[in-house]
Chains A and B, each alone.
Chain A
């Protein structure tokens, strides 16, 4: 696996340098051609400035670019222990140095993505639709694919490649425009002496300005597709169960609508390109390989090792994917058996988790509907949208107590006899019903017993 990363890094470094060479050449030749003798250095400076600006733009807005304004909630272990167990299992299987953070996005469309440039920032995002649609094996496959991206350092590389691509495009545009503007001026003032060399440079600059961005794009997208295949191969290796990911991909690609927060800029980040989920073929400008082909390769695997993926890939796609050195280093692996566990979160549970983390207070109506009362709701009661009955809103305690550790005792004095909720020291909200008569309640978050003083006693 380490060989795999090293081989990846070598190939990536070559690719980025290639793009860098194009950028430098374009800057130099463009400068020489437009400004005449010595202009090449000015062109180089322009190229560097363009690159820096692109880098700045990208890193300043990376997070919001990915989420596209959909700000998810970061899950804690208590919210969904099984999801966290899966993430931790995949961390162990991949040997990732840290456990990635988990971001839940309330969206019915199933999809997942990974981002983060440093191990501390590694994050795996999942939509609530994904959690209740996939069973445990499938979800494990998806998390393994995303862990594979993090492990193979795809996020860093694709970012860098995107920045390079953007810089080349911008510089080509600058060269192209100034050439058209400056062309006339040059033809008047230029001396005949260095004409020939100048002409050659001009042709190179023109060619680069036209072909550079195109070539860079083709390179970028072919890399993107290759890395999806590689992450699939890693997922099969980590889970030892290729069928899990295959069937997850099937379910994801069959989803009716892409998540609401997807756009052209963040689409390459997802496990299945949400804007081209059902595409049966890929062009040189596709970010992902066709999902059907990915599924076919996964299902054709004989075992679960990288070598098995390579064999299946060769027969389906032609050409090799994984370097021979990595294949030699990777051990053979048998498949494991399927597990029979269902989804980790029910349909309503994911939604309830998002709301609870946002400070919503749950009120359970007798008709079975759970009403989420948003924070800052002013009225004293709330009407059930299904059956129309009116329920009092639990009075949240005004002051949130400071965070206590699990051993510290806690006491809560009831404000009234109706529904009531308060926050435990661990941050979890605890709900008391009108029929609650016990002297203490157990917090579902940290497990501590919280002493409860009845309202009448408080008035005395």
Chain B
């Protein structure tokens, strides 16, 4: 009788242990899947940002051919681009991107004053590409942030947080473009 109760308890413990292990494996796999999705989403942003960096020198060269006297604007764009290229970490990157967006806006505003430039096919193509790349950055960012939030919530909530702590799943930063100088209306000079 006692032996059978002992056996029953043993059996119960084994069942609980098995359930726990299965749960742990499932949770761990779920977290890895989420983290990979997040890495992939980040890679998508990266692709678009790189594309933007590649387009900018072309754009500056094209505009230079028509608007020689806008040196200040060109310098600002080039400087912002270099800063963005060399930025490290999500936060710094986001800030540099914000500045670059602002600089580009003022470059396009400058272009408004040169009708010949605005008729240039090359310029129009570059403008569409840059605008769309910027859209893509913002859509990719939105997707990344969605995923980052799901992931952060998951690793901070009970009971997943035990597994997350055990295997060092760390919180991810959001990619927020800072509201800064880029939100100013671009200055246009007709001198």
Asked whether B142 lies within 8 Å of A240 as measured between CB atoms, the reply is yes
Asked if B79 is an interface residue, CB under 8 A from chain A, the answer is: no
Report whether B37 and A2 are in contact in the complex, using a CB–CB cutoff of 8 Å: yes
Take A2-B37, A82-B132 as given contacts and tell me if A92 and B143 are in contact as well, using a CB distance cutoff of 8 Å: yes
B106 at the interface (CB under 8 A from A): no
- What is the CB-to-nearest-CB distance from A335 to chain B, in angstroms, rounded to a whole number? 12
Nearest chain-B residue to A3 (Cβ)?
B150
A331 at the B interface (CB under 8 A): yes
Interface size bracket, B side: 20 to 34
Which of A16-24, A83-91, A176-184 faces chain B? A83-91
Residues 41-98 of A contacting B (Cβ, < 8 Å): 81-82, 85, 88-90, 92-95
Interface residues of B in 146-166 (CB under 8 A from A): 146-147, 149-150, 153
Chain A contributes a number of interface residues (CB within 8 A of B) equal to 19
- Residue B111 interfacial (CB < 8 Å): no
Quick check: is A1 within 8 A (CB to CB) of the other chain? yes
Q: A2-B37, A89-B139, A95-B37 given as contacts; is B128 within 8 A of A82 (CB)?
A: yes
Contacts A85-B132, A89-B135; is A2 near B150 (CB within 8 Å)?
yes
State whether A92 and B44 are in contact (beta carbons under 8 Å apart), knowing that A238-B139, A240-B142, A329-B153 are contacts in the complex.
Answer: yes
Minimum distance in angstroms from B32 CB to a CB of chain A: 14
Judge whether B150 and A93 touch: CB under 8 Å: no
Which residues of B sit under 8 angstroms from A93, Cβ to Cβ?
Answer: 139-140, 142-143
Q: How far apart sit A330 and B34, CA to CA, in the bound complex (Å)?
A: 15
- Taking a contact as CB atoms under 8 Å apart, the answer to whether B146 and A330 are in contact is yes
**Which residues in A have their C-beta under 8 angstroms from that of B125?**
81
Selected from B128, B129, B135, B143, the residue in CB contact (under 8 A) with A95 is: B143
Q: Bound state CA distance, A90 and B138, in angstroms?
A: 11
Complex Cα–Cα for A94 and B37 (A): 12
Instruction: Check B139–A92 contact: CB distance below 8 A.
Output: yes
* Complex alpha-carbon distance, A108 and B142, angstroms: 35
- A90 and B149 CA atoms in complex are apart in Å by 20
Interchain CB contact under 8 A, A85 and B135: yes
Q: Say whether A81 contacts B128, CB under 8 Å.
A: yes
B178 within 8 A of A: no
Task: Kindly state the separation between the CA atoms of A331 and B41 in the bound complex, as whole angstroms.
Answer: 16
Give min CB distance, B59 to chain A, whole Å. 16
Q: Answer yes or no: B136 CB below 8 A from chain A CBs.
A: yes
Which chain B residues border A2 with CB–CB below 8 Å? 34, 37, 150
- Give the residues from 366 to 381 in chain A that come closer than 8 angstroms, CB to CB, to chain B: none
Residues 1 to 49 of chain A near chain B (Cβ within 8 Å): 1-3
Once A85-B135, A238-B139 are accepted as A-B contacts, the answer to whether A331 and B146 lie under 8 Å apart by CB is: yes
Residues of B within 8 A of A81 (CB): 125, 128-129
Tell me the bound Cα distance from A197 to B139 in angstroms.
62
- Chain A residues with Cβ below 8 Å from B48 are 92
> In the complex, which residues of chain B have a beta carbon less than 8 angstroms from the beta carbon of A331?
145-146, 149
When A2-B37, A95-B41, A329-B153 are in contact, do A89 and B132 touch as well, CB less than 8 Å? yes
Nearest CB in chain A to that of B174: its residue: A331
**The one of A1, A82, A85, A89 that contacts B146, using a Cβ cutoff of 8 Å:** A1
Instruction: List B residues 23-38 near A (Cβ within 8 Å).
Output: 34, 37
Roughly how many angstroms separate A2 CA and B142 CA in the complex, as a whole number?
14
Distance in angstroms from A369 CB to nearest chain B CB is 24
Measured between beta carbons, the chain A residues less than 8 angstroms from B128 are: 81-82, 85
Which of chain A's residues 279-296 have a Cβ closer than 8 Å to chain B? none
Q: Which residue of B lies closest to A328 (CB)?
A: B153
Q: Is the CB of B146 within 8 A of A92?
A: no
Cα of A328 to Cα of B149 in the assembled complex, Å: 11
A81 to B37, CA, bound (A): 28
| A92 in contact with B136 (CB, 8 Å) | yes
A3-B150, A95-B41 in contact; A88/B136 too (CB < 8 A)? yes
Q: With both chains docked as a complex, state the minimum distance between the C-beta of A332 and any C-beta of chain B, in angstroms.
A: 10
**A94 contacts B136, CB within 8 Å?**
no
Nearest chain B residue, comparing its CB with the CB of A329: B150
Cβ contact within 8 Å between B140 and A92: yes
CA distance A333 to B149 in the complex (A): 13
Q: List B residues 1-48 near A (Cβ within 8 Å).
A: 34, 37, 41, 44, 48
Question: Inside 8 A of A92's CB, which chain B residues have their CB?
Answer: 44, 48, 136, 139-140, 143
**CB within 8 Å for A89 and B145 given contacts A2-B37, A95-B37:** no
A346 to chain B, nearest CB (A): 15
Task: Pick from A82, A90, A95 the residue with the most CB of B within 10 Å.
Answer: A95
Complex Cα spacing A340 to B187, Å: 21
Bound-complex Cα distance A240 to B139 (A): 9
Other than the known A89-B132, A95-B147, A329-B153, what 4 A-B pairs have Cβ atoms closer than 8 Å?
A: A3-B150, A89-B136, A92-B48, A93-B139
Give 10 nearest A-B pairs by CB, closest first.
A85-B132, A93-B139, A92-B139, A92-B140, A95-B143, A89-B135, A89-B139, A331-B149, A92-B136, A89-B136
11 A-B pairs with C-beta separation under 8 A: A1-B146, A2-B37, A82-B128, A82-B132, A89-B132, A89-B139, A92-B139, A93-B139, A93-B142, A95-B41, A330-B146
Interface residues of A (CB under 8 A from B): 1-3, 81-82, 85, 88-90, 92-95, 238, 240, 329-331, 333
